[in-house]
Amino acid sequence: MNKILRNSAIIALAAVTAGCSDFLDEELKSQLAPDNTYTSSMGFEVGCTGLYAIARSEYNTWGQSGAFMHNGACAYATQQIATDIVFQSGARDGSLTHYANLTMTPTTLFIESYWNWSYALINSANEVLLYSEKNTNWDYPTDKALYQAEARFFRAYAYRSLLYLYGDVPWVETIQQPFVLDFTRTPKEEVYGHVVDDLLFCVENLPDNPDNVKPGKLTKWAALHLLSEIYLCQGEYEKARKAAQDVIDSKHFELVKERYGAEAKKPGDYFHDMFVENNQNRKSGNKESIWVMQFEYKTVGGGTPSDDWTRREWGPQYHSINQFFKVSAEYGGRGLGQIAPFKWWIGTKNTNATPDDGVPNGIFEDSDIRNSEYNFKREWLSNVDATKGQRIAITDKYWADGWLFPAPTKFFFAHDDDLTHTGSYRDRMKFRLAETYLLLAEAYLGLNDAENAAKAVNVVRNRAKASSVSAADMDMDFLLDERIRELVGEESRRFTLVRTGKYVDRVRKYNTVLRDVVQDYHALWPIPKTIRDANRDVEFPQNPGY
């Protein structure tokens, strides 16, 4: 951890070069260090830009200059696999296998990189906070609090990941000089309290009007959305309810219910429109997004092919059936197919599955537009000239091999100039209003108010043209199913199941690969071996089971 604490300022400033294109156009000096950067409002803008860049590097893979975080092929998928929604297909990558089998150890790839990423972001935020107290050269009287709020948001955001993945972790709120070799694990209840304090500061000091900030910039509403989630982790359900309701009542955001944006005149529907390139930010007409990570395609300061492989994980390797398919932008480019969906939720339409394998549409009603042909590709037609237009059935073998399965088109993304490699480097909706409603419903369930929980869920379901549900229908399992229908692939599914206390139960119920393997301790990851070894002056306890 000490290496991370020492180098994080360098990382934050270097990360500026990978910053978001619409608001990170600063002309930088060749040598950046805290002492010569944090001397003006512009310097703190540069430093906070680095925080945005580190935050989005959570999705890094290997192969490009931006991939300083994971240096592996499928880190994102570790938050989806070994849950209730996907399994590792035959198109496997070795870096995912230990997670798919729940055989992670303290030295497994990604166990350390998620820890390192979190503390790099935390300590870079602490650097901003430390120097902001020293600086007296501000352009506006509100600048100090503004940049402190951005830093404290990202500190809270990083601790969110640490708490979900590792449980008790050291709370660090300043730069450690000299090296500290006796860190202790702070109880997570105490860390959650610090996170709440950070987010409450953000609510008071981040901008109010999302139309007055540049794309990708934080507002108080992003802080309130995250605060609602953290309150749920604490069991503070009334506070969680109020935080979510405040976002909804702000009137700044609304669910997308009409066609808009780049492909509004093409066949499609308004749910699909949210995932079309260039349709994520408010300037496109999307009033549902609360916080959007900026990954623009081939834009200075935008994404690289290795920044976010979400679409490659969810896209099947259809091109492996080369007598029927060639890689095309229409089919989402070259998918990896390393994770494949379970049939129980996605359904078995266009397969040779037996009736026992699942209903044709899984957990979706026929009327639900989230399961429309524009949002899930279930009909695979050959695009090879000799057989063009021929319907190819999704066989059990194709599915198991990762070659062909129903796929969410929300992650289809490819350009003809890079069909084989391109990652999902379009902007990523990190928080959107539909999830706020689902957080509100979760809070009501915690308050034993199923009637109002159903009302919150029905706002989301009615937008999707799904039938309304009653209080009698509403429990945590229904809500978790609804999160799949609305947010599959967008949310970190592991986080959701851990927060709701349903991780082991749902894996045993729906994960046919792991139902006899999963144990209670699998809800947390092990503490990285390197961290425990470096903490030589005090024993740093390992999580149970590892």
Answer yes or no: is 175 within a domain: yes
Identify the CA nearest to 199 among candidates 254, 162, 240, 170: 240
Q: Do you know the residue count of the chain?
A: 546
Domain count, the chain: 2
Instruction: Show the beta-strand stretches assigned E in 402-546.
Output: 407-408, 428-432
Which of 193, 220, 244 delimits the end of a domain?
A: 193
**Residue 365 is assigned to a structural domain of this protein:** yes
Q: How many CB atoms lie within 10 A of CB 451?
A: 11
Q: What is the per-residue pLDDT for 353?
A: 65
Residue 427: inside a domain: no
Q: Which residue has the tokens 């951005």?
A: 150
Calpha distance 546→535 (Å, rounded): 18
Q: How many Å apart are CA 312 and CA 412, to the nearest integer?
A: 8
Q: Tokens 């975080």 belong to which residue?
A: 69
β 380-381/428-432 pair status: unpaired
Residues 440, 244: contact at Cβ < 8 Å?
yes
Regarding whether 495 and 405 lie in a shared domain, the answer is yes
Is there a domain that residue 212 lies in?
A: no
My answer on whether 85 and 24 are in the same domain is no
Please give the Cα distance from 30 to 48 (Å, whole number): 18
Is 402 part of a structural domain of the chain?
A: yes
Instruction: Clarify whether residues 57 and 119 are in a common domain.
Output: yes
Residues 188 and 327 in one domain: no
* Contact indicator for 316, 395 with CB cutoff of 8 Å: no
Rounded Cα distance between 306 and 313, Å, is: 12
Half-sphere exposure (Cβ direction) of 343: Cα atoms closer than 13 Å: 21
Q: Say how far apart CA 518 and CA 45 lie, in whole Å.
A: 45
Residue 344 in tokens: 């129980």
Domain boundary among 171, 193, 215: 193
**Cα–Cα–Cα angle for 451, 457, 460, rounded to 5 degrees:** 150
Q: Are 368 and 346 in contact (CB under 8 A)?
A: no
Residues 362, 344: contact at Cβ < 8 Å?
A: yes
Q: Are residues 64 and 77 in the same domain?
A: no
Q: Which residues pair with 431 in a beta bridge?
A: 291
Tokens of 254: 């609304």
Handedness of CA 506, 507, 512, 515 (dihedral sign): negative
Q: Give me the tens of pLDDT residue by residue for the chain, a chain 546 residues long.
A: 544 444 444 455 545 434 443 433 334 445 678 888 999 999 999 999 999 999 998 988 876 665 667 888 778 899 999 999 999 999 888 889 999 999 999 999 999 999 999 999 999 999 999 999 999 999 999 999 999 999 999 999 999 999 999 999 999 998 876 678 889 999 999 999 999 999 999 999 999 999 999 999 999 999 999 999 999 999 999 999 999 999 999 999 999 999 999 899 999 999 999 999 999 999 999 999 999 999 988 777 777 777 888 888 899 999 999 999 999 999 999 999 999 999 999 999 888 766 555 678 899 999 999 999 999 999 999 999 999 999 999 999 999 999 999 999 999 988 888 887 777 788 999 999 999 999 999 999 999 999 999 999 999 999 999 999 999 999 999 999 999 999 999 999 999 999 999 999 999 999 999 999 999 999 999 999 999 999 999 999 999 999
Q: How far is CA 21 from the centre of its chain?
A: 20
In a shared domain, residues 187 and 319: no
Domain CATH for 142: 1.25.40
Same domain, 317 and 404: yes
For residue 153, tell me if it sits in a domain: yes
Contact 58, 117 (CB under 8 A): yes
Do residue 396 and residue 496 come from a single domain?
A: yes
User: Do 78 and 182 belong to one domain?
Assistant: no
Domain boundary among 170, 193, 216: 193
What is the structure's pLDDT at 66? 59
| Tokens 């073998």 -> residue | 397
What confidence score (pLDDT) does residue 67 get? 60
Residues 348/351/355/357 CA torsion (nearest 10 deg): -60
pTM of the model: 0.93
Q: Among candidates 478, 497, 426, 43, which has minimal Cα distance to 262?
A: 426
Name the phi and psi angles at 337, rounded to 5: 60, 25
The Cα–Cα gap between 344 and 87 comes to 12
Looking at residue 26, its amino acid is: E
Among all chains, which residue has been given the structure tokens 């990382």?
Answer: 11
Domain annotation covers residue 516: yes
Q: Is residue 395 part of a domain?
A: yes
Q: Tell me: do 502 and 529 sit in the same domain.
A: yes
A 10 A CB-CB count for 162 gives 23
What span, in angstroms and rounded, lies between the C-alpha atoms of 414 and 324? 19
139 and 102, same domain (yes or no): no
Element (H, E) at 468: none
Say which DSSP state 473 is in. G
Could you identify the residue written with the tokens 């202790």? Answer: 184
Structural domain that includes position 377: 73-106+310-422+488-546
Residues 350 and 411 in one domain: yes
